[in-house]
């Protein structure tokens, strides 16, 4: 009787674990869009000791230029003779409150570019780029991430620092060429060599772009 009870409990435990694993792998991450951030890019720049919010500047027709755009252009890679597509998602976060060109510099300005290539343009796609990725490497497609920050520090004065990396994940949930917009999410890590010969890194987390304008060249 006790042996049967132990077997039943063991079976129930295994069934519970299998159910938990099924739920974990069946729940795919989804892009959660928030009203009020249309045609914007937002996320978090994690420097380690502190974090900085990133929200691209608001476009105001006739006054403030569009601070976020996805540019798609065709090129020939030269090696295979095949025509490929160059995708460049760029944005600026220069102003704080209000988040447009009517505001003065608040002591910190960011910019972000997410660059990749594709053999064809699809309505949705994902690109994962690892440590071995670099221009000319065997890993293709790859991401090139360029993050720039201008800030004022009482110790260093005015700083203008650029971080570059290839480690990241780009999830394009919708690329609508007919209506010319792109939506999705992104995370990655960028690096730079500091003045002491060491390496500083910034984690770019929880980035979402919602209905960002697409410009086809």
Please give the pLDDT value at position 9. 39
Name the residue with higher pLDDT: 100 or 148.
Answer: 148
What is the pLDDT confidence band of residue 163, given thresholds at 50, 70 and 90?
Answer: very high
| 30-38: long-range contacts, CB 8 A cutoff, minimum separation 24 | 30/173, 31/171, 31/173, 31/183, 31/184, 31/185, 31/208, 32/208, 33/183, 33/208, 33/210, 34/208, 34/210, 37/208, 37/210, 38/210, 38/211
Please give the pLDDT value at position 170. 94
Range scoring the smallest mean pLDDT among 84-88, 120-124, 153-157: 153-157
Distance between CA atoms of 52 and 190, rounded to whole angstroms? 15
What is the pLDDT confidence band of residue 137, given thresholds at 50, 70 and 90?
Answer: low
Name the residue with higher pLDDT: 172 or 137.
Answer: 172
Segment 14-70, tens digit of pLDDT: 444 444 433 333 444 444 555 456 788 999 999 998 898 888 876 554 555 567 899
Q: Where are the domains of the chain?
A: 40-216
Please give the pLDDT value at position 83. 77
CB distance 55 to 97 below 8 Å: no
State the CB neighbour count (10 A cutoff) for residue 92.
18
Please give the pLDDT value at position 22. 39
Name the residue with higher pLDDT: 27 or 188.
Answer: 188
CB distance 65 to 92 below 8 Å: no
**CA-based angle 7:13:15, to the nearest 5?**
105
Name the residue with higher pLDDT: 212 or 27.
Answer: 212
Please give the pLDDT value at position 17. 40
Q: What is the pTM of this model?
A: 0.74
Per-residue pLDDT at 117 exceeds 90: no
Name the residue with higher pLDDT: 6 or 83.
Answer: 83
Per-residue pLDDT at 85 exceeds 70: yes
Calculate what percentage of the chain has a pLDDT beyond 90.
Answer: 32
Write the CB contacts of 111 (distance below 8 Å, at least 6 apart in sequence). Answer: 90, 91, 92, 93, 94, 146, 147, 148
CB distance 204 to 167 below 8 Å: no
Write the CB contacts of 129 (distance below 8 Å, at least 6 apart in sequence). Answer: 116, 139, 141, 142, 143, 166, 167, 168, 169, 170, 188
Question: What mean pLDDT is predicted for residues 114-139?
Answer: 76
Q: List the beta strands (DSSP E) in the chain.
A: 40-46, 51-55, 68-76, 83-95, 105-118, 125-129, 144-153, 157-176, 181-193, 199-216
Question: What mean pLDDT is predicted for residues 165-184?
Answer: 92
């Amino acid at each position: 009787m006790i042996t049967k009870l132990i077997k039943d409990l063991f079976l129930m435990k295994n069934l519970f674990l299998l159910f938990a694993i099924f739920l974990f792998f069946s729940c795919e991450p989804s892009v959660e869009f928030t009203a009020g951030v249309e045609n914007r890019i937002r996320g978090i720049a994690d420097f380690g000791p502190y974090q900085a919010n990133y929200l691209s500047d608001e476009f105001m027709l006739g006054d403030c230029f569009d601070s976020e755009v996805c540019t798609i252009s065709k090129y020939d890679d030269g090696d295979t003779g095949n025509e490929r597509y160059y995708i460049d998602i760029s944005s600026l976060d220069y102003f704080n409150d209000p988040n447009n060109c009517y505001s003065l510099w608040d002591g910190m300005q960011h910019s972000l570019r997410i660059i990749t290539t594709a053999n064809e343009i699809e309505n949705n796609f994902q690109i994962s780029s690892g440590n071995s990725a670099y221009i000319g490497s065997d890993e293709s497609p790859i991401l090139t991430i360029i993050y720039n920050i201008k800030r004022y520090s009482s110790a260093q004065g005015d700083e203008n620092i650029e971080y570059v990396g290839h480690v990241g994940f780009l999830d394009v949930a919708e690329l609508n060429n007919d209506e010319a917009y792109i939506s999705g999410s992104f995370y990655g890590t960028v690096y730079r060599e500091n003045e002491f010969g060491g390496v500083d890194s910034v984690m770019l987390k929880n980035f979402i772009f919602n209905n960002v304008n697409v410009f086809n060249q």
